[in-house]
Chains A and B, each alone.
Chain A
Amino acid sequence: MRANNVLGLIYSNGYDACLNELTALRTMGSVPFGGRYRLIDFVLSGMVNCGIPRIGIITKSNYNSLMDHVGNGRAWDLARKRDGLFLLPPFNFHNSGTDNNRIRSLIGTRSWLAASGQEYVVISDCNVLGNIDYEKILAAHEEKGADITVCYARGKMPALPELMAFDVSPEGCVEKITISPKTDEKQNYSLNIFVLRKSLLERLLHEAESHNYTSFERDILQQNSNHLEIYAYRPGEFCRTIDCLQTYYDVSMEILNPAYQRELFNPHRPVYTKVRDDVPVIYGLESAAKNALIADGCVIEGTVENCILFRGVRIGRGAVVKNAIIMQEAFIGDECCVNSVIIDKNVTIKPHKQLCGDMQYPFYIGKGLVI
């Protein structure tokens, strides 16, 4: 299967509610991650790197920040005459569109699908972090002759509503689909990345519409698991599902490990993002930074340990910042002491403040606050 025969469809709002602190003012796709990225960058870049030429982003609400971020798709080389990047805002028919329903939002994209020349579709959410090699998924789909390929990871079920778990045969065939099984045992849980023929998707959507189905997982996949050849594919790359603020924090801390950084920021599959013209990081005298990812535009004059600093963060003299995620343009005043916090964009912490959360319960400070 040549990747230029494949469409990408990305849900930018999938599971927003699970990360409500960070998604109050934005979509899941525009949640900042890893010092200079937004979650959607990883999915978009992955699709672009394997050669998918036409990508639609399904949006539902709060998509200002997303539109601002992706723009015309230039940063991903998707500003093209032919194909390229499309934002697919809710299509208001059947009074639908704004509820969190995969089927309805897919139906809303039907005319865009119909106008696409590609034969296959890859569907993905934004809350799975990783540098996934989509080429391998497409190859597996073709090799197995699958009707639908679903990607999965193995581990404890993430706390996402209606998440599928698969029983997979040794040949990789999905034998049974269970939805949100209540168990602490390891499961093959869905990464919600699907590959199928566009024509099959259109047929399934048509059926769903005429039967008034509401659940993609229950009514389409689970119900059809005996009629369709559904294969499971487990990506070998580093990937993590973000299902709450704690996992967002944990996964962020995990990428302080250089081995994971090498996987996530694989130079052969670069992660693209909107470019800001920041100056490189300036370290002052008596700065002390250890085990930290530090993005351009930061000025460090204090102590930083086990941290992720986004672009344009300032750490004042004598400030001590540990185990923290500090987003764009935040300002940490002189002699502050900050531990185990997630600080959203444009926050100002005035000098001499003490803020402390716990690594098992990080303290979140909302966008634009002044403390």
Chain B
Amino acid sequence: MARKKECIAMLLAGGQGSRLGILTQTIAKPAVPFGGKYRIIDFPLSNCVNSGIDTVGVLTQYQPLLLNDYIGDGRPWDLDRADGGVHILSPYQQIKGTEWYKGTANAIYQNINFIDRYDPEYVAVLSGDHIYKMDYAKMLAYHKEKDAACTIAALEVPWEEASRFGLMFVGGDGSITDFEEKPKDPRSNIASMGVYMFTWCKLREYLIADEQTPGSSNDFGKDVIPAMHKNNEKLYAYAFDSYWKDVGTIDSLWEANLDLLNPKSNIDLSDRSWTIYSNNTAQPPHYVSGTADVQNSIVSAGGMIEGKIEYSILFSNVTVEPGAVVNYSIIMPGAHIKAGAVVQYSIVAENAVIESGAVVGEDPENMGDDRFDNWGVSVVGPSVNIGEGVRVPPKSMVCEHMKGGSLKD
């Protein structure tokens, strides 16, 4: 019998993240590498422990192998607890048959038994694909103060971007008066961050009702929250004003990584009071050779750096040979950039190899007016080999080996 917990967290980590293309072909989005040594899921998991939440259910569905392996027993986040800790919750067989998680709400619905074991007062429902540092304890205090049924973390976004988000209309006391899901002409710029705090007995009721509603898509944003709103449950917005980014697209993933290099971006990972933990492997310190030139970059352990690096994030065990140039790029673990290759404005996935003389991506400055239509971040997929002298144009996504000719031609 598990002991009663005041608040537990449910982390939605089953999404495919199809907009990340080749990067999430074999791994779930929360397992995508981020920031030199992390994976995206490190952020919500570390937020949980740092906020004093020691029981976390991680809902996995799409390509869970790496994610399961990465989370393991939760040791890196101090979540290997005898009482509580991290639990991986995958869809399972039931007497009435096997069901996949049909939507975010259904995923929680299928795990009501798990939550009931801890008999919590409150349940935090979190997304596994956002980069942010947030104290859920403060949000919980606000939730209790307002005696809310549901509190939604809210962020003010620039008006021009507002139409990409689920928007909320908030009254003077913080209560939510109305919603709008990704409207063409936004009338609000208060966006939902996909971080919810629920009073469990209320949520439980609505999950069961939602399951019995024909035609429901079993989604929090589309079904459960609107139903609560319709029934005049107390919904509040919790204002958050620090760094938050949904890394659901190639561009936003690239930007969020480079944000780490921008002192104005308000995301400092070296803050000891809010450590972001990760599952580290034993890698020696990285080595910069006599030919290396590293400027304004982040470089992780185990690497061998002999080329020129600028405005880039290099993950563990990356090799950059002499004469290679890496600019404004994200180089994921184990990638190898050979002598004389150029990688710019690109994401190079795990264990990819860029052979000598290949050029990946393009600097928008060099494209003239063409850049408005044709520039974008290039992506080289995991373990893909880009042959000698090959040019990978901007905004492309390379999923298969590209054979190069000889450099002498």
Contact = CB atoms under 8 A, between A and B. Distances in A.
- Do A and B actually bind? yes
Interface of A: 34-36, 45, 74-75, 256, 258, 261, 264-265, 270-273, 275, 277-297, 299, 308-309
Contacts of A36: 284-285, 301
B298 A258 contact: no
> Which residue, of A74, A272, A280, A299, has the highest number of chain B Cβ atoms within 10 A?
A280
B275 interface: yes
B282 A283 contact: no
Interface string B59-93: 00000000000000001100000000000000000
Contact of B284 (A34, A282, A289): A34
Contact of B298 (A261, A265, A282, A290): A282
B32 interface: no
Interface residues of B, number: 36
Contacts of B289: 258, 290-291
B97 interface: no
Contacts, number: 104
A323 to B, nearest CB: 14
11 contacts: A36-B301, A277-B275, A279-B298, A280-B313, A283-B296, A287-B295, A291-B288, A292-B288, A294-B286, A296-B37, A308-B285
B282 A288 contact: no
A264 B282 CA distance: 13
B299 interface: yes
B295 A286 contact: yes
B297 A271 contact: no
A309 B295 contact: no
Contacts of A289: 288, 292, 294
B81 to A, nearest CB: 15
> Which residue, of A278, A279, A299, has the highest number of chain B Cβ atoms within 10 A?
A279
Given A275-B280, A280-B299, A34 B285 contact: yes
B287 interface: yes
In the complex, the 10 A-B pairs of residues with the closest C-beta atoms, listed nearest first: A35-B285, A280-B36, A280-B300, A295-B285, A265-B284, A279-B269, A293-B285, A272-B282, A283-B294, A289-B288
Contacts of B294: 283, 287, 289
B290 A291 contact: yes
A282 B301 CA distance: 12
Contact of A281 (B261, B295, B300): B300
Contacts of B304: 258
A295 B303 CA distance: 10
Interface string B119-156: 00000000000000000000000000000000000000
Given A35-B284, A265-B284, A279 B37 contact: yes
B270 interface: yes
A280 B300 CA distance: 5
